[in-house]
């Protein structure tokens, strides 16, 4: 059964919905003003559908801090995904993603992943060398030997987390409905270009009873074990200066997955709520 839910949602939130980098439509690699700040904390609930059954499957959270990393002022962003205890007799997930981003140019210094999925263990660290356009990585899977690899990249290539947070800080005011935004991300041993399209403005009523003014986007997902080839995922981000995702949905090979914003603290700007319970 395909229960890689929190992992896949993290790859949305970090790889598509946001998930973003050398946005050619904007001709910029780094934002001039950040939509997020020190101490931001956001949580999402993940639901999984198989036929007529909906299950609360897990949660994903994102945390942002300003730190000094190896002598460089950095944004330290973490994301953790985990299944809820009620479904762990079927599948257990404990995943953590970490990135350190240079605050002066929004370039990834180091990216880490810790993946535990029902006994499968993966530990990965990647270092981004933008001057030589190379990503160096060390990867350990279960009891296999450590694998060292290099990946060629173009300028304006980001990891999943830095890409996720970059789109939030981009100026979307000049983006037209239907316009495509090509996005370049380094995922595992390849660099992918994901197409993100603005659908328009909508009002979303979330499971917390609040209504939010949102911008709706769709993104073409990377084909893999859960998403089919050219499968699109839809996501709604607040139509304000925060640009945080409120709701996401996608069809996967077996069923559907949805993610809902459940809590947030430390936002830099007021949220675009038009009705609050």
Give residue-wise pLDDT tens across range 46-104.
998 877 888 899 999 999 999 999 999 999 999 999 999 998 888 889 999 999 999 99
Note whether 107 and 101 are within 8 A (CB).
Answer: yes
pLDDT of residue 9: 46
Determine contact, residues 14/160, Cβ cutoff 8 Å.
Answer: yes
Confidence (pLDDT) at 261: 96
Closest of 57, 35, 63, 30 to residue 45, by C-alpha: 57
Mean pLDDT of the chain: 83
When divided into structural domains, the chain yields a total of 1
Burial of residue 220 (number of CB atoms within 10 Å: 0-12, 13-18, 19+): buried
Match 């939130």 to its residue by tokens: 13
pLDDT of residue 5: 43
Q: Provide the pLDDT for residue 87.
A: 86
Q: What pLDDT is stored for residue 116 in this prediction?
A: 92
Residue-wise pLDDT tens digits, 228-244: 455 678 999 999 999 99
Give the per-residue pLDDT at 277.
56
C-alpha triplet 167, 46, 106: angle, nearest 5°: 20
Which residues have C-beta within 8 Å of that of residue 120, sequence separation ≥ 6? 141, 142
Query: What range does the domain containing 61 cover?
Result: 5-275
Residues of the chain with pLDDT under 50: 1-27, 223-228
Q: State how far the Cα of 168 lies from the Cα of 244, in Å rounded to an integer.
A: 7
pLDDT value of position 151: 92
């Amino acid at each position: 059964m395909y229960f890689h839910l929190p992992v896949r949602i993290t790859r949305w939130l970090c790889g598509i919905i946001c998930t973003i980098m050398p946005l050619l439509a904007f001709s910029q690699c780094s934002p001039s003003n950040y939509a997020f700040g020190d101490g931001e904390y956001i949580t999402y609930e993940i639901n999984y559908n198989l036929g007529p059954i909906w299950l609360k499957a897990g949660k994903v959270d994102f945390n942002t801090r300003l730190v000094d990393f190896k002598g460089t002022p950095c944004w330290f962003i973490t994301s953790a995904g985990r299944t809820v205890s009620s479904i762990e007799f079927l599948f257990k997930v404990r995943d953590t993603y970490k990135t350190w981003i240079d605050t002066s140019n929004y370039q990834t210094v180091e990216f880490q992943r810790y993946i535990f999925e029902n006994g499968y263990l993966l530990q990965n660290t990647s270092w981004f060398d933008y001057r030589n356009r190379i990503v160096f990585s060390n990867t350990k899977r279960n009891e296999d030997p450590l694998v060292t690899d290099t990946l060629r990249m173009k300028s304006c290539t980001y990891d999943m987390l830095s890409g996720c947070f970059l789109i939030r800080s981009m100026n979307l005011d000049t983006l037209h409905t239907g316009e495509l935004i090509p996005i370049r991300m380094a995922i595992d041993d390849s660099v992918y270009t994901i197409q993100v399209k603005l659908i328009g403005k909508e009002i979303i009523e979330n499971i917390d009873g609040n209504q939010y003014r949102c911008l709706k986007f769709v993104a073409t997902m990377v084909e893999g074990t859960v998403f089919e080839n050219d499968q699109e995922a839809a996501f709604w981000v607040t139509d304000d200066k925060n640009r945080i995702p409120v709701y996401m949905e996608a069809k996967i090979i077996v069923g559907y997955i949805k993610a809902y914003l459940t809590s947030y603290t430390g936002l830099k700007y007021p949220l675009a709520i038009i009705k609050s319970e």
